[in-house]
């Protein structure tokens, strides 16, 4: 990897890291009843826990050179980045040869940022009601037993180019910038926790107003400004994620950037368009949700769709996410956690399926047959089942050992 590519990846990592703070700001501004100091503490300690675990055994478990049943690697083989750094002229640096692959130190850092984003999505969706000790315990378990195995499965395990699924269907599962590892995994985890821990006890409903069957939250001007700032931060951060996914400062990175823009704003048009049609009113949260759905969509398929396909998929994703948000708000809950599940989960699924339909020479609509679509379906099914089962077991285990959340009545008395 030449100096330009190293600089490009460094810039992408910095921009991607901005996504974590933009996500925190966005979800905190979406709720006025959060205890701000506890939410900030939860988020920052979670990021610290994730980074330490990733350096100690997470990277080795996720992307080490060994392979155990296509699911994990040996967590001790590259413990504490063993073999990834060396001393030259009394200065520690990266192994030059490793810069050619995602295994270089820059690649390790990029994957760490994706891990932080996953953790932040989960903790912000659950809010400030969980016990601090229980969440940190769950966070460590989730990174070790859910995120790291999924990363290995996608990058170098069952779903990789040398994995069992590739040998079975003749083509590999494709994920452009980690939608399956971040958005899909995090949103599935949130859904499982909310269901198992009885959401009506776990958090208080948002203040909503209802009109023509659509519900949106009323937020203060200060929070509207925070939401606006956070959305621009998310857009810039997702630029970094999609640019860094290519690992090179080339035309592929530039193409991913323009497709990200197209998908984000076409999804916004679809989301607010259907809301305007039904409600005759557009809120800043609906605009933010539409843009976020398009950004999530782009992380799955930005490198394999044409501008026309990106425009179409973005619009469809915005409409579908708006519909799912409204249905879940009516049937289940009006809380932020379910809003996130309603956006991140369908957008990531649609993006990964779009690869099976549109990937050049492999997609169903590109004359490549059903093999790529079949690989995407198998990969999606495996990831969802794996994440849901492991997250459910870990949630129940933490609830049994430490007790997961603070009851609302008890929390009211403490305030």
pLDDT of residue 282: 80
- Rounded Cα distance, 137 and 117, in Å: 18
CATH number at residue 81: 1.10.3430.10
State pLDDT tens for residues 121-178: 999 888 777 888 899 999 999 999 999 999 999 998 999 988 899 999 989 999 999 8
Domain coverage including residue 256: 3-414
State pLDDT tens for residues 226-259: 888 999 999 999 999 998 888 777 788 889 999 9
* Residues whose CB falls within 8 Å of the CB of residue 189, separated by 6 or more in sequence, listed in order: 122, 142, 146, 387, 391
Distance from first CA to last CA of the chain, Å, rounded?
55
CB 220 within 8 A of CB 32: yes
Q: pLDDT: is 180 or 282 the higher one?
A: 180
Instruction: For residue 208, list its beta bridge partners.
Output: 217
- Rounded Cα distance, 88 and 46, in Å: 34
DSSP-assigned states of every residue in 354-368: HHHHHSTTTSGGGT-
pLDDT tier at 8 (50, 70, 90 boundaries)?
confident
State pLDDT tens for residues 284-343: 888 999 999 999 999 999 989 999 999 999 999 999 999 998 888 777 655 667 878 899
Per DSSP, which regions of 265-334 are E strands?
Answer: none
Residue 22: pLDDT above 80?
yes
Report how many domains make up the chain. 1
pLDDT of residue 215: 42
Mean predicted confidence (pLDDT) in 86-93: 70
Q: How many CA atoms lie within 13 A of 156 on its CB side?
A: 18
Residue 409: pLDDT above 50?
no
pLDDT of residue 106: 80
Helix, strand or coil for residue 411? helix
What's the token pair of residue 74?
Answer: 């040996």
pLDDT tier at 27 (50, 70, 90 boundaries)?
confident
Residue 183: pLDDT above 70?
yes
pLDDT of residue 34: 62
State pLDDT tens for residues 54-82: 999 999 999 888 888 889 999 988 888 88
Rg, the chain, Cα only? 21
Mean predicted confidence (pLDDT) in 272-293: 86
- Identify the burial level of 348 via C-beta atoms within 10 angstroms of its C-beta, where 0-12 means exposed, 13-18 middle and 19 or more buried: buried
DSSP-assigned states of every residue in 94-153: E-GGGGGSTTSHHHHHHHHHHHHHHHHHHHHHHTT-B-HHHHHHHHHHHIIIIIHHHHHH
Judged by average pLDDT, the poorest of 75-84, 205-214, 305-314, 363-372 is: 205-214
Residue 209: pLDDT above 80?
no
């Amino acid at each position: 990897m030449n100096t330009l590519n190293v600089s490009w990846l460094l810039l992408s990592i910095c921009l991607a890291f901005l996504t974590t703070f933009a996500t925190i700001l966005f979800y905190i501004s979406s709720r006025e009843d959060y205890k701000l100091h506890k939410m900030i503490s939860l988020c920052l300690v979670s990021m610290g826990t994730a980074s330490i675990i990733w350096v100690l055994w997470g990277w080795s478990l996720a992307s080490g050179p060994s392979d155990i049943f296509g699911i994990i690697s040996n967590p001790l083989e590259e413990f504490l980045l063993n073999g990834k750094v060396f001393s030259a002229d009394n200065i520690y640096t990266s192994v030059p040869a490793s810069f050619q692959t995602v295994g270089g130190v820059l690649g390790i850092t990029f994957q760490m940022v994706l891990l932080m984003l996953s953790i932040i999505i989960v903790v912000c969706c659950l809010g400030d009601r969980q016990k601090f000790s229980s969440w940190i315990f769950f966070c460590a378990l989730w990174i070790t037993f859910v995120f790291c195995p999924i990363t290995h499965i996608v990058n170098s395990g069952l779903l990789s180019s040398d994995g069992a699924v590739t040998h079975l269907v003749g083509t590999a599962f494709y994920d452009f910038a980690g939608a399956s590892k971040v958005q899909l995994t995090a949103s599935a985890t949130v859904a499982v926790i909310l269901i198992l821990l009885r959401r009506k006890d776990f958090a208080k409903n948002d203040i909503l107003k209802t009109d023509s069957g659509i519900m949106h939250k009323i937020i203060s001007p200060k929070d509207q400004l925070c939401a606006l700032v956070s959305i621009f931060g998310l857009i810039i951060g997702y630029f970094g994620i999609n640019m860094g996914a290519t690992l090179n400062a080339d035309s592929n990175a530039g193409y991913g950037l323009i497709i990200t823009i197209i998908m984000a704003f076409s999804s916004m048009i679809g989301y607010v368009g259907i809301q305007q049609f039904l409600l005759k009113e557009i809120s800043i949260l609906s605009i933010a949700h539409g843009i976020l759905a398009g950004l999530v969509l782009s992380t799955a398929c930005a490198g394999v769709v044409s501008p026309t396909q990106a425009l179409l998929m973005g619009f469809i994703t915005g409409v579908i996410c708006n519909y799912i948000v409204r249905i879940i708000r009516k049937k289940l809950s009006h809380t932020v956690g379910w809003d996130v599940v309603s956006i991140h989960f369908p957008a990531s699924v649609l993006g990964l399926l779009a690869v099976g339909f549109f990937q050049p020479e492999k997609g169903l609509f590109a004359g490549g047959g059903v093999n790529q679509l079949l690989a995407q379906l198998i990969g999606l099914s495996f990831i969802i089942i794996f994440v849901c089962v492991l997250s459910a077991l870990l949630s129940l285990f933490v609830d049994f050992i430490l007790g997961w959340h603070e009851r609302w009545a008890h929390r009211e008395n403490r305030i």
